[in-house]
């Protein structure tokens, strides 16, 4: 049990508050996170423009609602890749604690393989959807709908590649987060 003396002091001898933030290191940020951040800021700018034209100018721009919807889709599909890379998707590890080690290992490996198969299938189905859409255009803006599905395809492919990467790490270290929930995802 820690005492008050064990805690770091933030009050200096002069009675002033002295605290320093740790240095921010963005070197480990994956490229998908930067792409998602870019889509997010485009979405924020679009929604701000929509708000400004509707409530300040009293003349709403009709294209903003549709574009904001598609930018939200782009943000979600590219941002979901981060969750796959960090392996922090929703999971139930309760039963893995009570299974024999060989069974929990086999089931966690099956989960990793099914995740890769899911993203590969979703990528394939997205390509088929894009093929069927052909040259369909967006409702308000005169742009092809395949731009939206192309971003979804990018997201599914990136998630699939990240899932393969997670599978490789789990295979190399001999356990998964399902088997040892206290472990974290890292490539080291």
**184 has pLDDT over 90:** no
pLDDT band for position 135 (50/70/90)?
A: confident
φ/ψ of residue 176, rounded to 5:
-120, 175
Is residue 126 domain-resident? yes
Q: How many domains does the chain have?
A: 1
Q: Which of 106, 123, 104, 108 is nearest to 162 (CA)?
A: 123
DSSP state of 98: T
pLDDT at 51: 93
pLDDT band for position 4 (50/70/90)?
A: low
Is residue 2 domain-resident? no
pLDDT band for position 2 (50/70/90)?
A: low
Is residue 73 domain-resident? yes
Is residue 98 domain-resident? yes
Of the listed ranges 56-65, 90-99, 115-124, the least confidently predicted one is 90-99
Mean pLDDT throughout 22-32?
84
pLDDT at 7: 59
Distance CA 37, CA 75 (A): 7
pLDDT at 187: 46
Orientation angle between helical segments 146-173 and 101-133, nearest 10 degrees: 160
Strand residues in the chain grouped as ranges (E): none
Q: Which of 76, 84, 158, 86 is nearest to 115 (CA)?
A: 84
pLDDT at 17: 75
φ/ψ of residue 11, rounded to 5:
-100, 125
Percentage above 70 pLDDT, the chain: 90
More reliable by pLDDT, 98 or 71: 71
More reliable by pLDDT, 183 or 27: 27
**Which pair of structure tokens corresponds to residue 166?**
């997670």
Mean pLDDT throughout 86-109?
82
Orientation angle between helical segments 63-86 and 146-173, nearest 10 degrees: 10
Is residue 65 domain-resident? yes
Is residue 128 domain-resident? yes
Mean pLDDT throughout 22-37?
87
Is residue 183 domain-resident? no
pLDDT band for position 104 (50/70/90)?
A: confident
Query: 122 lies in which domain range?
Result: 31-173
Mean pLDDT throughout 144-149?
90
Is residue 52 domain-resident? yes
């Amino acid at each position: 049990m820690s005492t008050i003396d064990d805690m770091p002091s933030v009050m200096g001898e002069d009675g002033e508050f002295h605290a320093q933030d740790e240095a921010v290191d963005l070197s480990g940020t994956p490229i998908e996170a930067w792409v998602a951040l870019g889509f997010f800021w485009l979405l924020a700018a679009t929604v701000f423009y929509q708000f400004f034209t509707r409530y300040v100018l009293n003349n709403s721009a009709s294209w903003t609602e549709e574009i904001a919807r598609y930018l939200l889709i782009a943000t979600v599909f590219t941002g979901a890749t981060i969750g796959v890379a960090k392996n922090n998707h929703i999971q139930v590890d309760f039963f893995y604690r009570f299974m024999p080690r060989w069974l929990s290992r086999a089931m966690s490996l099956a989960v990793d393989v099914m995740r890769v198969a899911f993203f590969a299938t979703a990528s394939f189905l997205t390509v088929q959807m894009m093929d069927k859409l052909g040259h369909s255009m967006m409702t308000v803006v005169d742009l092809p709908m395949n731009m939206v599905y192309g971003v979804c395809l990018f997201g599914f492919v990136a998630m699939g590649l990240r899932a393969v990467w997670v599978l490789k790490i789990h295979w190399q270290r001999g356990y998964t987060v399902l088997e040892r929930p206290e472990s974290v995802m890292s490539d080291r």
